[in-house]
């Protein structure tokens, strides 16, 4: 399964569960159903001036920032234009933004109102080819979508992917 396949299955799962997708930026393209997921970088000295996230969804009062890859190892080995892995980017985003700041970003950038208390980074992958990092990993295959066991997640996230 390619990154685009993982993205497509994930979005279909979220829509089937009536989970709000705030924005989405599929690999190598656009999805006309959603605005693109751009987040400005607070540090203007960084090489890229914004981050792009594959899918941003709101599950109850949690904003989930999701990167899609074919395999867990790809989240570590493939580097973005700023020279960092998706795993490093997700960790940075999770520690950079507060819920209040992210609410403001989506209001200004997309005219979208979200009501969140927390931000959770997550990986969506088909192949779990190495131990999972200490973040939520969503396993996407041809038949199902679910959380990879191991990391505790709040009840709303567990329910969204069970």
**With the CA atoms of 19, 23, 26 and 31 taken in that order, what torsion angle do they form, in degrees rounded to the nearest 10?**
90
pLDDT at 47: 55
pLDDT band per the 50, 70, 90 thresholds, residue 127 = very high
How many other CB atoms are found less than 10 A from the CB of residue 29? 9
Q: What is the pLDDT of residue 131?
A: 80
Which range marks the domain in which residue 147 is found?
3-160
Distance CA 103, CA 29 (A): 25
Check if the beta carbon of residue 23 is closer than 8 Å to that of residue 31.
Answer: no
The 3-state DSSP class for residue 130 equals: coil
What does the alpha-carbon distance between residue 16 and residue 8 come to, in Å, rounded to a whole number?
A: 12
Residue 88 has pLDDT above 70, yes or no: yes
Q: What is the 3-state secondary structure (H, E, C) of 100-124?
A: HHHHHHHHHHHCCCCCCCEEEEEEE
Q: What is the pLDDT at residue 63? A: 95
* Domains: count for the chain: 1
Q: Residue 151's pLDDT is what?
A: 67
Mean pLDDT over 41-53 rounds to 70
Give residue-wise pLDDT tens across range 53-62.
999 999 999 9
Mean pLDDT of all residues in 130-150: 86
């Amino acid at each position: 399964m390619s990154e685009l396949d993982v993205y497509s299955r994930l979005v279909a799962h979220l829509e089937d569960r009536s989970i709000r997708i705030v924005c989405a930026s599929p690999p190598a393209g656009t999805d006309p159903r959603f605005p693109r997921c751009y987040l400005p970088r607070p540090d203007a000295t960084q090489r890229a001036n914004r981050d792009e996230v594959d899918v941003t969804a709101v599950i109850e009062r949690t904003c989930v920032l999701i990167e899609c890859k074919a395999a867990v190892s790809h989240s570590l080995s493939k580097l973005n234009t700023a020279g960092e892995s998706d795993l490093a980017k997700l960790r940075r985003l999770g520690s950079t933004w507060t819920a209040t700041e992210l609410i403001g970003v989506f209001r200004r950038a997309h005219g979208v109102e979200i009501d969140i208390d927390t931000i959770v980074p997550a990986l969506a992958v088909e192949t779990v080819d190495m131990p999972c990092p200490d973040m939520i990993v969503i396993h996407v295959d041809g038949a199902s979508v679910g959380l990879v066991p191991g990391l505790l997640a709040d009840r709303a996230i567990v329910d969204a992917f069970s």
